[in-house]
Structure 1
Amino acid sequence: MKIGILTHHYINNFGAFLQAYALQAALQEMYPNDEVRIINCINIKHFVINAGGWFRFYKNKETLADWLQKIKLPMTFAKFRKKYMRLTPVCYDAKSIEKLGLDYIVVGSDEVWNYRETKGNAKVKFGIGLEREKLVAYAPSVGQTHEANMPEYVKKGILKFKEVSARDQLTEKLASDIRHEKIKRVVDPTFLAHIPDEPVPDITHPYMLFYYCDGLPEAEKQKLVDFAHKKGMAVYGAGECDKKYSGITVNLTPFQWVWMFRNADYVVTGTFHGAVFSMLNHRQFACYLTNPSRIRKVSSLLEEFGLKDRQCEGKADAIIENLRRKIDYRIIETRFDEKRNESKRYLRRAIQ
């Protein structure tokens, strides 16, 4: 049997890489005698916009040294994809995917069903043009989209799938309304497989880690930095730049990014995968969410695992209080195991 994974694997984003890598690893473990590959389907517009974004210079946040490291990141991702992803030949449309001779195509995870994201949206991820393969949706997300003015191809495509699951509440509702059936909620692929890590050179002291807290007031962030320093901690960003940080940790491999979460004393994040890797590595963390595309899906994730109180307003005192209030991961790990097992059962039922 030949299984292909269709996702946003090609963008230079740590969560996007790791969810694709983890789904590949999980499926290969579940189907050791079958061929599992990531379909190297590239949306040129999406790829160019994403890669080009890393070359912008933000003078208020970055030094020249920061920027020189940051612009190396697209090449770092390219090398890692080549080394760790089992990629098919490049495909630019459904017709070229059809020629691969796949038995199943697993679409997901990430915002592959965000039909309002014009630079990344592709009809092929809704199965349009794919007729020879059995389609399975694993943990797709629609981002912040909703039913209003939904394109007809979205409805038509979702109805084509043999099995559909969802990663968050909004996606679950949208798919349920279209298919008129109960949609299984599954975990992000990063829950399904062990992901290795790689040490980041020169980091030897305890540290607080930031990962994309868009909109956090600078004065409040400075208070968090001061709090960390008073506790004898360094402060770093996981693949991001800020003049407040103790060192430059922007040009990371995806496995180094995992290492930074795995070894942080505290994490402050505003993203879905920032929350996921804090949870998976039993970190004390807080979420500050202002980005509309993240609020729904991160809130849904936190609520699912009983961690809704990790969501904070933009005041440093509240975030610090949250970080100090320890999470009992013994209880949450039991829930992780339940959801992992349920999600794997879904995949086994869907692919047979």
Structure 2
Amino acid sequence: MKIGMLTYHNTNNFGGALQTYALQSVINKLGVECQVIDYRSDVISKRYKVKKFFEIRGLKELIKYLINSRSEKKTKLCFDNFYKNYIKHSKDSYDKGNISKTNQLYDKFIVGSDQVWNLSLSGMDYTYFLDFVYENSKKNSYAASFGVSSLEEGESSKIEKLLFDFNNISIREPKPENFININEDKVVNINLDPTFLIKSDEWSSLSKNKNKEKDYILLYTVASNPEIFDFAKELSAKTGCQILYVHHTHKIRFDMNNIRDIGPQEFLGYIKNAKYVVTTSFHGVALSINFKKDFFYALSNSTNNFNSRITNIINLLDLSDRQIINGQNDKINEAIDYESINETLEFEREKSITFLKHIVNETNMEINNVNTINS
């Protein structure tokens, strides 16, 4: 049996790469072959494309290129090696024009996880709602994220129609506020991000450690919140820990150790060995919890933010006291008690894996029935 998995892949994004690895790995462990469909979304590909010199337009882009080009090339090489060694892709690549050919290759499709249903990220690409799949019984999602707490006007009704055809639906956060119920008889499951389905010992075996510091603060930002830098420096002053700032931007911080040319495995190593983690990233939070780290998080101040991804897992595990507000948090000297957190995670992990088992077992039954009829 073969399952085709559709997600944001081949991006130079730590969370995207690691959730892809995790979901494929877990499905494969259930005894089926899972391939990541090499679908090339124009918008997603453009967002992570490394510009060549002849593509530079204007002085501002030239300055960014001169600062970033070497780091970007090293980063891309790290990610390319990770995808080559740890992710099994479909033999062929696809776009909107020919992805319907995959209907002949896979017994089931699973879309997820990550923000695959965030239309502002995908450029209104409904391919991630499996609109190319002919048979409704093949359509499934796992922990698909909208990334927002409400939908734009006009989006909800179209999404409702597309999801009405799904066989099994799993999302990562509660439905957006203005999301119309798909069908009274259709259950919408809420499951963990795939990175939680893999335990810390397996992540540790995958990680690489490039850092020589014993005690350090890992600062990892993806959203706009300048107060997080003030907090990290305060934490550094109070603990004596050096700040290692992981990012892919051209904005160098001269008061911190900038790390800009690593891949997913090195990122895991930096989180695993950190004394503290300070982040605005959902996967920064998720992996900190997985490695049982003392972490602090800040939410984005921008109007169009994706904070719901973080607040959902924070509320589930009762960790809101780790939020940085106005550059402050009074829990600096308090370690996180992970006993009850681990109990909740284990319960949710089993529930999530049971959902994936249901898809696999359902598919096996269908194949056996077809074989019986044809025999």
TM-score scaled by structure 2?
0.82
Secondary structure of the 2:181 match is helix
Superposed, 1:183-222 pairs within 5 Å as 183-193=188-198, 194-195=202-203, 196-212=205-221, 214-217=223-226, 221-222=229-230
Q: CA deviation at 1:127?
A: 1.5
Q: How many residues align?
A: 343
Match of 1:50 among 30, 48, 51: 48
Letter in 2 for 1:70: E
Bigger CA radius of gyration: 2
Contact kept, 8 Å, 2:74 with 2:262, in 1: the verdict is no
Aligned to 1:3: 3
Letter in 2 for 1:259: G
Secondary structure of the 1:324 match is coil
Q: CA deviation at 1:322?
A: 2.9
Superposed, 1:131-210 pairs within 5 Å as 131-132=134-135, 134-144=138-148, 145-146=150-151, 148-150=153-155, 152-170=157-175, 174=179, 177-180=181-184, 181-193=186-198, 194-195=202-203, 196-210=205-219
Secondary structure of the 1:90 match is strand
Contact kept, 8 Å, 2:170 with 2:189, in 1: the verdict is yes
Letter in 1 for 2:77: M
Superposed, 1:1-352 pairs within 5 Å as 1-31=1-31, 34-52=32-50, 68-88=70-90, 89-93=92-96, 95-99=98-102, 100-119=104-123, 121-132=124-135, 134-144=138-148, 145-146=150-151, 148-150=153-155, 152-170=157-175, 174=179, 177-180=181-184, 181-193=186-198, 194-195=202-203, 196-212=205-221, 214-217=223-226, 221-222=229-230, 224-225=232-233, 227-229=235-237, 231-240=239-248, 242-244=252-254, 246-290=256-300, 291=302, 292-315=304-327, 318-319=328-329, 321-352=330-361
Report the aligned-residue RMSD.
Answer: 2.9
Range with greater deviation from structure 2 (221-230 or 297-306): 221-230
CA distance in 2, matches of 1:58, 1:205: 38
Q: Which runs of 5+ in 2 are unaligned?
A: 362-375
CA distance in 2, matches of 1:230, 1:54: 43
Secondary structure of the 2:49 match is helix
CA distance in 2, matches of 1:129, 1:70: 34
CA distance in 2, matches of 1:287, 1:125: 29
TM-score scaled by structure 1?
0.87
CA distance in 2, matches of 1:331, 1:246: 35
Secondary structure of the 2:120 match is coil
CA distance in 2, matches of 1:58, 1:216: 23
CA distance in 2, matches of 1:210, 1:54: 29
Contact kept, 8 Å, 1:166 with 1:172, in 2: the verdict is no
User: Sequence identity of aligned pairs in percent?
Assistant: 24
Letter in 2 for 1:234: Q
Q: State the 4+ residue runs in structure 1 displaced beyond 6 angstroms.
A: 53-59, 62-66
Label 1:37 to 1:63 Cα distance change in 2 as closer, same or farther (>3 A).
Answer: closer
CA distance in 2, matches of 1:64, 1:247: 19
Letter in 1 for 2:263: T
Q: Which runs of 5+ in 1 are unaligned?
A: none
CA-to-aligned-CA distance 1:17-71 (integer Å, 9 cap, x gap): 000100000001112xx22111111102320222248999999xx9967662234
CA distance in 1, matches of 2:255, 2:88: 36
Secondary structure of the 1:4 match is strand
Label 1:323 to 1:136 Cα distance change in 2 as closer, same or farther (>3 A).
Answer: farther
CA distance in 2, matches of 1:331, 1:117: 35
Contact kept, 8 Å, 1:76 with 1:252, in 2: the verdict is yes
Contact kept, 8 Å, 1:94 with 1:128, in 2: the verdict is no
Contact kept, 8 Å, 1:172 with 1:185, in 2: the verdict is no
CA-to-aligned-CA distance 1:104-145 (integer Å, 9 cap, x gap): 1110001111123353x4212111121146111100011114
Secondary structure of the 1:110 match is coil
